[in-house]
Structure 1
């Protein structure tokens, strides 16, 4: 009798391994004591009673088979995540072994993180954080590490145990926390496990919530994360009272604006106000969430809750701040003759109308001349004379030129590929933007870099691996056919 795995296009040794797993599972589902069943366990699994499980198994890939394979795949993925975690922990051990200490140890860890990151196309900052988490998981939460190694739950579940239990400095309290959480972890989603872990840690934490909050306030920050379709998320970590207060105030203001518009509309319909006296935006179709977001932008950027105040006060409303953004826009798009995409900081596309509005309010312009075939930057000029080479590099690089790093050029150094003190010339062919992290990695470790024609950087790691970083954009703007 043909088995489902015999129908699959698999190497014989893999099919045999998977077949053994499934046969063992079938035996657990329905034990078969008869020795005659050894020749065809699937047929015997059906049994005289024609059980549903047996029929599905004998009939091929059905729901139970799929579920079995799904569970095994999840288990194997978790096991491999355990292997990765072990390797990351060992990488950190390797980086700090010997007599390295202080800044040398930090540089050694950065060096190892960069090596691992470039090998798999990831950010070295992400890898360095995962190395630190891996060591903490292995050394401070050994039972959780064992759960991951055996495939009992995923790396995300293990991260929850680590995140919520890290604050427990006492070894006994941490062990008690881990024991209780793991006992309750079976079948829980990551979100549900976090709720359980947070409650258990709270009960075992000897430090009061007031003391912890005072420390946690030190970590407050704001960040921007780019998403799709020309949008970004503005995210802030704030004390809960302030965060909820801000949200509530925005809600009150949004409802006030929506209520005022509604009242104005009612007045028009009732004849109390002439239709010509009502502005065109009196009918507001925005949702409460949309109005909240608009008020947040107005208040933070201008100090006013409505754009009408900006229109009245003109440029004075903008003097409280001076943002710096780099918008790259094709000339025909700027002229309104094309809708070719523009980009913000070389990272996220923005719609042409927004790009044109930004350009209209800009006080500084860079004209970037590109190769019509490859899109490579050939020259940069500007009406007002300043540092031409820096403008050229900003237009060419757009971000740090270490593989995988996206730090904006505004937070980078214009670094000499061949050091100036060793005869390196100050010209675009020997300059590239590097953030402070990777600038120090280049100057203080065994990483080396060579700049090839057209601004291509060829990085060589301490282990001899070569990684090439191409300057963006390569084919961003194409000529109209």
Structure 2
């Protein structure tokens, strides 16, 4: 796997370079495995009979106990070393961000440029430490906060507490500081109390103890804490196994419980003699239908009433009519607290037996809902013809069964089908445009080929990205898929930071000619010889392109034999140049050649 290469091309302070050299030169001892066949145990008796003389003679038991004692002592030293390393990392992160602020002030960056510069610096931290940018952003805030708490930083540097302990102290003191009527002296005393309570505790136990201590001393902080938690609500997708994914909604508890109750009611309305899916399956399908904006099954509404405006089964009033959102969420949450949904207790065992009974009766399995939206599916040409069972590639997710791909294409109002060559398994070439912007179909093709933002380690789906030239159009770069890359909005801004534009896209040097002597540095993409995209960070760290994930093509044996013979015939005599037009794909050339010979035979 390619590794990032650090090659700063803009110089650096000797002190910083010496720190990196010292850290790189550190060597840790090699720990040899220990077991019953270890050489040091050879010839020793199992144990020394009690009472043993002093000093105790060597035995297998005494050696094993000595190894245990030494291992525990070494683990204690490692714990201190980890804490000291965390303090060193925090100091380096804070130093890096402070240097970015100094540079921004010296270059007179405006507010927008300063924010992009700081975000770009955080991205460099993320790519260097190989962590998500969200985690790097949190780390940057924590390191900046730690610099304002010298006592906590000193305890971390001495190995008295761990990084997680330090983060808990920062989090709880920050909550206390945001609470009205709290004096700085109260925060200092509270921090001192936490530092005294931290040693000898696990991070989880200390977090619970710190929270209880804060709420006990300052009950009003609970409101502040709840406000912060509500502000962090989010929706995220995490890839799962076997073509599945986790869709996570982080919501206030009443809203989450209310959503669960609503999906449960609609799922129960679909249960009956002809439905054998479990309640969990129906709940998930119902949630997917609602989020995809599709029509609910007729069983969920009163006959004759439009979907979404009717009365769910078992209810006396239409959903949401005349009831404020807050009261409706509270009422739905109360239904769960009362001990059931619609007065029907859940019985997973009975649902399982019901499903088995339905299976015995030969009832078909109801499939989950599929989205009706623009779908990008990369399909091998032979798989589309049904000659092979190669999996298709769903943009933003990965491989999916060919059967699911066909159903997605049937449900899609419009889709882009990316055909791949059976010989090379690479997308068939398109027509090179001669204009500044890509056509919509070409943008979709670009996103399908990359699946995610091209920035190092960025996981933003390519469907939610912007397209940009690798070699600028003004510098002669063509507007082709090969000279374009998908970038999410944030990383697109990193690339153009060097242009010295304001937030409205205007060159600042047009208004201030003196800025023409300023050279900004930022992230720069480039194309490798094999067409992949690599990036170079502001400090000169080269990030190689993502490894290709193209699988070898598959085809039936009869076609493989035909291709082999056809390729040999096309190659001609030994030493002759092959008669395949390199501007076309090998598959297309082979088909044309075969049709030509068929015409000659006729």
Asked if these proteins are the same fold (TM beyond 0.5), I'd say: yes
Partner residue of 2:162? 154
Which range is displaced more, 215-224 or 205-214? 205-214
TM-score, L = length of structure 1: 0.70
- After TM superposition, the score normalised by the length of structure 2 is 0.58
Pair 1:74-2:74 in alignment? no
Contact 2:377 2:418 in 1 (8 A): no
| Kept in 2: contact 1:57–1:65 (CA 8 A) | no
Give 2:99's aligned residue: 94
Aligned to 2:457: 404
The number of equivalent residue pairs is 411
Question: Equivalent residue of 2:453, what SS?
Answer: coil
CA offsets 1:128-184 (integer angstroms, 9 cap, x no match): 432222111232x33333333233343233333333332222533333332333333
Q: Report 1:156-171 matches (<5 A).
A: 156-169=164-177, 171=184
- 2 CA distance for matches of 1:398 and 1:168? 43
- CA distance in structure 2 between the aligned counterparts of 1:292 and 1:50, rounded to whole angstroms: 70
1:419 aligns with 2:432: no
Distance 1:205 1:374 in 2: 67
On the 8 A contact 2:233/2:250 being kept in 1, the answer is yes
User: Quick one: distance in 1 between partners of 2:193 and 2:386?
Assistant: 63
Match of 1:460 in 2: 536
Q: Residues 367 and 357 from structure 1, CA distance in 2 versus in 1: closer, same or farther, beyond 3 angstroms? A: closer
2:215 equivalent to 1:202? yes
2:405 aligns to what? Answer: 355
Q: Secondary structure at the match of 2:159?
A: coil
1:386-437 CA-partner distances (Å, limit 9, x unpaired): 6343233122222221212122223222111222233332122321112221
Whether the 8 Å CA contact 2:381–2:421 is kept in 1: the answer is no
- 1:340 maps onto 2:340 in alignment: no
Contact 2:380/2:419, CA 8 A, preserved across alignment:
no
Q: How big is the alpha-carbon RMSD for the aligned residues of Structure 1 and Structure 2?
A: 4.2
Gaps of 5+ in 2: 1-26, 32-47, 178-182, 309-370, 432-437, 499-520, 558-602
Aligned in 2, Cα 1:212/1:297: closer, same or farther, shift over 3 Å?
A: same
Who is 2:491 aligned against?
A: 438
> How far does the alpha carbon of each residue in 1:426-458 deviate from its partner, in whole angstroms, 9 at most, with x for none?
122321112221212111132323234553223
Say which SS state the counterpart of residue 97 (structure 1) adopts.
helix
Q: For residues 185 and 463 of structure 2, what CA distance do their matches in structure 1 show? A: 47
1:109 and 1:128 in contact (8 A); partners too: no
> Which residue of structure 1 aligns with residue 120 of structure 2?
111
Q: Is the 8 A contact 1:89 1:138 kept in 2?
A: yes
Query: Partners of 1:421 and 1:137 in 2: how far apart?
Result: 46
| Corresponding residue to 1:175 among 188, 194, 207 | 188
Higher normalized contact order (CA 8 Å, seq sep 6+, divided by chain length): 2
Q: Is the counterpart of residue 393 in structure 1 residue 446 in structure 2? A: yes
- Superposition deviation, residue 218 in structure 1: 4.2
Q: Deviations over 1:26-75 (max 9, x none)?
A: xxxxxxxxxxxxxxxxx9xx984789999855446654444333333333
Q: Which residue of 2 aligns with 1:367?
A: 417
Paired residues for 1:286-297 under 5 Å? 286=278, 289-297=280-288
Contact 2:395 2:448 in 1 (8 A): no
By how many angstroms is 1:253 displaced?
A: 5.7
- Structure having the larger proportion of residues in helix: 1
- What is the CA–CA distance in structure 2 between the aligned matches of 1:345 and 1:429, rounded to whole Å? 18
CA drift at 1:96: 0.8
Q: Is the 8 A contact 1:341 1:349 kept in 2?
A: yes
| In the alignment, structure 1 residue 301 sits paired with structure 2 residue 292 | yes
